[in-house]
Amino acid sequence: MKLISVKNGSKKTKIIVISVAVAVAVAIIALAFWIIGAFSSEDVGNISKAAATDKNDKVVVTDEIPETPDKAILDEAKMLFVSYDYEKALELISSLDTEEATALKAEIEAEVATLAPADNYAIPHIFFHSLIADTSKAFDGDYKEAGYNQVMTTISEFNEILAEMYEKGFVLVSIHDIAGVNEDGTTYEKEILLPPGKKPFVLSVDDVNYYEYMEGDGFASRIVIGEDGKPTCEMKLDDGTITTGDFDVVPLLDAFIEEHPEFSYRGAKGILALTGYEGVLGYRTCPSYSDEPTYAADIESAKAVAQNLKDNGWEFASHSWGHRDMSKMSFENFKIDTNRWEDEVEPIIGTTDVILYPFGSDIGSWKGYKEDNEKFNYLKKVGFNYFCNVDGNRAWLQIGKNYVRQGRRNLDGYKMYYDMINPNKDWLSDLIDVEKVFDKSRPTPVPPM
Ligand SMILES: [Zn+2]
């Protein structure tokens, strides 16, 4: 889209520049003749000829600039329209004067007339951990099986969740679409306009670090840039060979949105929450690995992958450096942990203003962050504006004077199993049909928390 408007712009600019140049040239020649006092009719004729030649040149030059194909503009406008960016879509086709463009304009305007603002306070924020790609390895009876069974989600469950939420009319939005931050740090609510039947939601993934303990347990091992230039995952097989594919949330959601662009509001993807103590995204970028031969290369690769993820609509969040309980730790340790995250993770992923508390453990009560909350003040000072806890069963949003807080809902084995076996519990029916989603390869009962 940007490219097209730039082309249009430069074409216009070029014509103006040429016209001005012609005028200036004519004026200079005229001035020259006037000065030498040689204003014969023949010379006037010459001037006219020069101008005409210039005029002809102008036409030739203009023709050399290839016309932006109307179809490309129309396709781009259609894509903006499907992803709810009505204003930009209309702006883009305003330059077209074809039957198709007129029809599309009418279609967009008809949908715009039906739009209604979402209730931002009712927007669910769902979250996952790295997905279990191979259930036989995660559920192999070792000491880690219970934990995986409780807090992880399998790939088949994730795919079914996306399909069901899509069917129910859910549309993925960014947390930054819900509220904004002014230059002075104060916050304000934003308006999300959607057609009838569409409901916004936010998605995040915790601990996208591919920790060492997960190796051999059926998870992806890191995020890489695929041959098509888009983010994908690597996974280590039993024989040590490495295979690339859709083994986690990022490539699976990307593929789903590519197929169903109306599932994403203006290109929104999820938030990837990172700790720092074992590096990020499967790269051992933490200074404790600085003796490893792969250390420098890992930092460079992680930076490239992080940029690639951002280019594809993904956002990042802090999950604290050491996966600490931020409400319980002392203020001194809190500062050390926060500084480490800022010093080690931000240089790789860039700045972020979102923090997703480990264990959902918030640093203030539901009533709001008070002005004397030193932990909040510290996080705000280093640049955080969006603060997420875990509020398992409902949507929760708080827009304070200078912060935005949102509760998140876990869609994991524990939540799904206890919702499913307990007829009195109705934790998830607004999002999914848990009977259909729950992966039958899970050992049951899922251990209680
Ligand atoms: Zn975590």
Q: What would the pLDDT profile of 79-96 be if each residue is shown by its tens digit?
A: 999 999 999 999 999 989
Tell me: pLDDT of 391 over 90. Answer: no
* Cβ contact 154:135 at 8 Å: yes
* Stretch among 22-31, 128-137, 422-431 having the lowest mean pLDDT: 22-31
Whole-number Å distance, alpha carbon 257 to ligand 1 midpoint, is 26
Whole-number Å distance, alpha carbon 424 to ligand 1 midpoint, is 29
What is the pLDDT confidence band of residue 392, given thresholds at 50, 70 and 90? confident
* Stretch among 32-36, 44-48, 160-164 having the lowest mean pLDDT: 44-48
At 68 the pLDDT is: 62
Look at 284 and 70; give whichever has higher pLDDT.
284
Segment 27-33 mean pLDDT: 45
Closest CA to 339 of 317, 358, 353, 320: 320
Cβ contacts of residue 203 below 8 Å, gap of 6+? 125, 126, 127, 128, 172, 253, 269, 270, 271
At 252 the pLDDT is: 98
Whole-number Å distance, alpha carbon 229 to ligand 1 midpoint, is 29
Whole-number Å distance, alpha carbon 429 to ligand 1 midpoint, is 25
Structure-token pair, residue 136: 């036989």
Q: How far is CA 25 from the centre of its chain?
A: 51
At 70 the pLDDT is: 86
Residue percentage of the chain with pLDDT more than 70: 85
Whole-number Å distance, alpha carbon 205 to ligand 1 midpoint, is 9
Q: Give the C-alpha separation, 75 to 78, whole Å.
A: 5
Q: What would the pLDDT profile of 419-445 be if each residue is shown by its tens digit?
A: 999 988 889 999 999 999 999 999 999
What is the pLDDT confidence band of residue 37, given thresholds at 50, 70 and 90? very low
Q: Within 10 A of 441 (CB to CB), how many other CB atoms are there? A: 12
Tell me: pLDDT of 18 over 80. Answer: no
- Helices 41-64 and 2-35, interaxial angle, to 10°? 170
Whole-number Å distance, alpha carbon 177 to ligand 1 midpoint, is 24
At 320 the pLDDT is: 98
CATH class of 117-437: alpha beta
Tell me: pLDDT of 35 over 60. Answer: no
Q: What would the pLDDT profile of 206-216 be if each residue is shown by its tens digit?
A: 999 999 999 99
Tell me: pLDDT of 30 over 60. Answer: no
Whole-number Å distance, alpha carbon 410 to ligand 1 midpoint, is 11
* Stretch among 35-44, 142-151, 356-365 having the lowest mean pLDDT: 35-44
Whole-number Å distance, alpha carbon 411 to ligand 1 midpoint, is 14
At 67 the pLDDT is: 53
Whole-number Å distance, alpha carbon 358 to ligand 1 midpoint, is 5
Look at 391 and 364; give whichever has higher pLDDT.
364
At 66 the pLDDT is: 54
Whole-number Å distance, alpha carbon 225 to ligand 1 midpoint, is 24
Residue percentage of the chain with pLDDT more than 90: 82
Q: What would the pLDDT profile of 180-210 be if each residue is shown by its tens digit?
A: 999 999 999 999 999 999 999 999 999 999 9
Tell me: pLDDT of 105 over 50. Answer: yes
What is the pLDDT confidence band of residue 56, given thresholds at 50, 70 and 90? very low
Q: Across the beta sheet with 242-245, what order do the strands follow?
A: 222-225, 231-236, 242-245
Segment 216-221 mean pLDDT: 97
Whole-number Å distance, alpha carbon 95 to ligand 1 midpoint, is 49
Kindly report, as residue ranges, where domains of CATH 3.20.20.370 are found in the chain: 117-437
Segment 404-430 mean pLDDT: 95
Looking at beta carbons, which pairs linking 100-109 to residues 24 or more positions away fall under 8 Å? 100/70, 100/74, 101/70, 101/74, 101/77, 104/74, 104/77, 104/78, 107/81, 108/81
Whole-number Å distance, alpha carbon 278 to ligand 1 midpoint, is 13
Alpha carbons within 13 angstroms on the beta-carbon side of residue 33 total 16
Whole-number Å distance, alpha carbon 27 to ligand 1 midpoint, is 72
Whole-number Å distance, alpha carbon 412 to ligand 1 midpoint, is 13
Q: What would the pLDDT profile of 302-348 be if each residue is shown by its tens digit?
A: 999 999 999 999 999 999 999 999 999 999 999 999 999 999 999 99
Residue 127's φ and ψ, nearest 5 degrees, are -140, 160
Judged on CB neighbours under 10 Å (0-12, 13-18, 19+), 410 is buried
At 69 the pLDDT is: 78
Residue written as tokens 């179809």? 71
Look at 170 and 394; give whichever has higher pLDDT.
170
At 393 the pLDDT is: 84
